[in-house]
Amino acid sequence: MDRILGQPAALDALRNQLATQRVHHAQVFHGPAGVGKFTTAVAFARELLCHDPITDLHGNASACGACTSCKLFDSLSGAEDSDDPTAALRSAHPDLHIVTKELALFSDDAQVRSRKLTSIPVGVIQEYLLGPASLAPALNHGKVFIVDEAELLNNTGQNALLKTLEEPTPGTYLVLVTSSEHRLLPTIRSRCQRVAFGPLDDAAVTRWLGEHHAELDEQTAKWVVGFAQGSLGRASLAVRFELVEWGTAVLSPIQRLAKSGRPEPQLGAAIGECVDGFAAAWVGAHKNASKEAANRRAASLMGSMISNYARRRMAIAAEQCDPETPGHSDQVLAPWLGVIQAVSEFERQLSSNVNLKLCCEGLGMAIHGALLGVAA
């Protein structure tokens, strides 16, 4: 676990469980997407499945690195950089069971196999979790199940897990990884130990970019760090799909609009083209991915990029406010607040399945409404 970037509180909590040998049989790793929850779950599994953990003078236990189990884990290093990092992990260690929505593609059940991947079917839980959970571990040193994107389990899937949570088999551990903890049933949450993960700081993201994407020029790297908002998942997407172009296509017109007060008639269309381009590239790169889910993901990335930009502009504007002039701060901050509200409305419309292109046009117009008159 020493290689995990940031997350000192979560790592302390997990190390403490290992040191006191009080590892909870079911845990929820929750926090924003792309901050290392899944990577930490795998690193934690390596510690749990080690045959011969080493305890240092401070009482901290860590995996030995030499046993059969540790060697299986270490044979995987680098897998996290591949397109589907869980694919390699799934088959690497007989007692590490990774459950993801992608497993539906390998199900024995043709109906489960043919679905688009927007949820984890209950059939996947039965086949890849409940089934193996009832068997003895292959290496005789326990078993770990990691459910990635656990919020994609519907109520039936979550209810299927309850029995395992209520009657844990000794030596069997379950980690539910989620960025939307509120979508887990209260009955699930109350039976799990919760471990909170937070966004990484910009320095950690910059360090990660330097290690994994040294090819980026300084300006692009800086843009990616801003876009990432503490998430390596977002940073990685930004690099892979060259989202720095979104800055030129969408943020630059918004900046001009705020400065000149002159309309940017192409803004809505540009937002739509960026979102559509990303969704199409995503579906092209992921077999069986759903265009609808890709659209939603792209739109949500777009929304957070714009509101994040508006928040930065508000912070700058707030510093320049004249505290002596009544109402000056409202006057300076209101346009950007309007942009943030426009994005919230955009996200609300998307969740009620309004046509994506119309939503993007609407967002463009709402941004105009909020910002026009700024320069006047």
Chain residues in the site for Zn ion (CB under 5 A): 50, 63-64, 67, 70
Residue that is written with structure tokens 């007692």 in the block: 95
Q: Which is nearer to Zn ion, 140 or 219 (CB)?
A: 140
**Smallest distance, Zn ion to C-beta of residue 11, A:** 19
**Smallest distance, Zn ion to C-beta of residue 63, A:** 5
Instruction: Work out the burial of residue 231: count CB atoms within 10 Å of its CB; fewer than 13 is exposed, 13-18 middle, 19 or more buried.
Output: buried
Residues 6+ apart with CB under 8 A from 129: 97, 99, 145, 147, 161, 164
**Smallest distance, Zn ion to C-beta of residue 69, A:** 5
Q: Which is nearer to Zn ion, 63 or 343 (CB)?
A: 63
Q: Which is nearer to Zn ion, 73 or 128 (CB)?
A: 73
Q: Calculate the alpha carbon distances from 367 to 208, 275, 345, 352 in Å.
A: 34, 17, 11, 20
Q: Which is nearer to Zn ion, 122 or 144 (CB)?
A: 144
Q: How many CB atoms lie within 10 A of CB 221?
A: 20
Q: Which is nearer to Zn ion, 70 or 339 (CB)?
A: 70
Q: How many CB atoms lie within 10 A of CB 343?
A: 23
**Smallest distance, Zn ion to C-beta of residue 70, A:** 3
* Tokens describing residue 361: 């046009």
Paired strand residues for 120 = 153
Q: Are 5 and 207 in contact (CB under 8 A)?
A: yes
Q: Which is nearer to Zn ion, 70 or 356 (CB)?
A: 70
**Smallest distance, Zn ion to C-beta of residue 117, A:** 34
Query: What is the rounded CA–CA span in Å between residue 269 and residue 253?
Result: 12
Q: Which is nearer to Zn ion, 64 or 269 (CB)?
A: 64
**Smallest distance, Zn ion to C-beta of residue 167, A:** 28
Give the total residue count for the chain: 376
**Smallest distance, Zn ion to C-beta of residue 75, A:** 13
DSSP at 183: G
* Tokens describing residue 336: 């950007």
Q: Which is nearer to Zn ion, 63 or 205 (CB)?
A: 63
Residues 6+ apart with CB under 8 A from 23: 17, 48, 173
Q: Which candidate, 36, 30, 9, places its Cα nearest to that of 188?
A: 30
Query: What is the rounded CA–CA span in Å between residue 143 and residue 136?
Result: 9
**Smallest distance, Zn ion to C-beta of residue 147, A:** 24
Q: Which is nearer to Zn ion, 65 or 369 (CB)?
A: 65
Helix 252-260 vs helix 291-319: crossing angle, to nearest 10: 40
Q: Which is nearer to Zn ion, 50 or 350 (CB)?
A: 50
Amino acid at residue number 322? D
**Smallest distance, Zn ion to C-beta of residue 68, A:** 8
**Smallest distance, Zn ion to C-beta of residue 17, A:** 17
φ, ψ (nearest 5 deg) of residue 285: -90, -15
* Tokens describing residue 321: 């406010």
